[in-house]
Amino acid sequence: MKISNRLKDLPPHFFSSLVKDVEDALAEGRDVINLGRGNPDKPTPAHIVKALQEAVEDPATHGYAPFRGTSELKEAVAKFYQREYGVELNPETEVAVLFGSKTGLVELPMALMNPSELLLLPDPGYPDYLSGVSLADIQYDTFPLLAENKFLPDYKSFSDQQKRQAALMYLNYPSNPTSAVATPEFFEETVAFAKETGIAIMHDFAYGGIGFEGKKPLSFLQTEGAKEVGIEMYTMSKTYNMAGWRIAFAVGNAEIVEAINLLQDHLFINPFPAVQRAAAVALTEDQTCVDELVALYEKRRDVFIAECQRIGWDVEAPEASFFAWLPVPKGYTSASFTKLLLDKANIAVAPGHAFGKSGEGYVRVGLLDEENRLKEAVERIEKLGLF
């Protein structure tokens, strides 16, 4: 049997090969410290688990969910955005429930774009953005995120063709992989750029709940005029350790939300109502679990960065997210340094070039292991005599 050209054109999935390399090393009996993953290492908070258990026992949650999500969850999203960001949302017209944000990111081009149009993607950026390009049969171009510009795009560098042909642009702050954060001035520039060009904005806010030193990452929707030009996608996976629950939402521009809902009407019915109820509890009830999680990541960050600096590795502490974006030593590429760490030190990291050509010269480290293991990882690197 043959498969469609659409599937043949899908990009290779880098992280599956990274997982295989780590699994092969573990199968050999090696003690691998896996800092290449992006999967939270702590369980879902107990009160959210309890909310799901109780919801599952309620016959009212059995059966298909409403096509466009439960009013309970959409109202909870609106309350969450009002509480956390001072942003008012109409829960029925400005909130779309998603089967995880990856689904939303991949399906959005199908909802908004035609084959002749261009999707603008960050480089480096989340590799799965490219899946939407192939499935929607559209064109794409990338814009570089460089250290000298604090890993923010320079809108002055966009070509006339990009501005003329593009219909949609993806942004992601706090950034995966760079951990960079957006400023109010940058988001203001983004709204102005979108209004000037007619390009819609999708802001991937996956790490929006994880900011350090008391600084909460900015929501794009806090910017005046943002709802006129775009949306924001927020996943429950990172802020509430609900990875695998497949629950997220898109908020903002009502026309884009309607387009997402219309597409999803034809693709699937919404997530299991009990999961939606548990997500509503997570968003609206006690937020102590979020504070504790952020404190945990911040402490891990402090330990790891201090150890790197101790051995002479010139690195900067991330301001947000649970990633650190680290320059490779002189004489190495992202790939060769990644291979060296796995082969000689039993440490897995994600090579920067896997996130785009502008990621060359870096590796991404996930702060997703205990402090003693993060410290041990740096001690193993120290023994390689690279710094």
Q: State the total domains in the chain.
A: 2
Domain end (from 246, 268, 284): 284
Residues 146 and 232 in one domain: yes
DSSP letter at 211 equals B
Pairwise CA distance, residues 118 & 316, whole Å: 34
- Would you say 230 and 256 are in contact if contact means Cβ atoms under 8 Å apart? yes
Residues 204 and 87 in one domain: yes
The answer to whether the pTM exceeds 0.85 is yes
In 3-state terms, what secondary structure has residue 320? strand
Domain end (from 267, 284, 301): 284
Q: Provide the residue range defining the domain that includes 31.
A: 5-44+288-383
Residues 67 and 159 in one domain: yes
Residues 186 and 297 in one domain: no
Residues 222 and 256 in one domain: yes
**Torsion sign (Cα): 132, 181, 251, 277:** positive
- Cα radius of gyration (the chain): 21
Residues 54 and 177 in one domain: yes
Q: How far is CA 34 from CA 21, 210, 336, 382, in A?
A: 11, 21, 17, 17
Task: Output the DSSP codes for 260-274.
Answer: HHHHHHHH-PPSPHH
Check residue 25 and give its pLDDT.
87
The CATH number covering residue 224 comes to 3.40.640.10
Pairwise CA distance, residues 36 & 20, whole Å: 12
Pairwise CA distance, residues 71 & 119, whole Å: 32
265-288: b (≥16 Cβ within 10 Å) or e:
eeeeebbbbbbbbbbbbbbbeebe
Pairwise CA distance, residues 196 & 334, whole Å: 37
- pLDDT of the chain, 387 residues: tens digit per residue: 889 888 888 887 767 777 888 888 889 999 999 999 888 999 999 999 999 999 999 999 999 999 999 999 999 999 999 999 999 999 999 999 999 999 999 999 999 999 989 999 999 999 999 999 989 989 999 999 999 999 999 999 999 999 999 999 999 999 999 999 999 999 999 999 999 999 999 999 999 999 999 999 999 999 999 999 999 999 999 999 999 999 999 999 999 999 999 999 999 989 999 999 999 999 999 999 999 999 999 999 999 999 999 999 999 999 999 999 999 999 999 999 999 999 999 999 999 999 999 999 999 999 999 999 999 999 999 999 999
Residues 203 and 118 in one domain: yes
Q: At what angle do helices 46-57 and 273-284 cross, to 10 degrees?
A: 140
Residues 314 and 190 in one domain: no
Which structure tokens are listed for 376?
């041990």
- Would you say 236 and 271 are in contact if contact means Cβ atoms under 8 Å apart? no
If we measure between CA atoms, which residue out of 106, 89, 110, 90 comes closest to residue 98?
106
Strand partners, 230: 201
Residues 152 and 31 in one domain: no
In 3-state terms, what secondary structure has residue 88? coil
Domain end (from 244, 263, 284): 284
Residues 87 and 197 in one domain: yes
Which structure tokens are listed for 77?
């999203």
The CATH number covering residue 355 comes to 3.90.1150.10
Residues 63 and 210 in one domain: yes
- Would you say 169 and 202 are in contact if contact means Cβ atoms under 8 Å apart? yes
Residues 20 and 81 in one domain: no
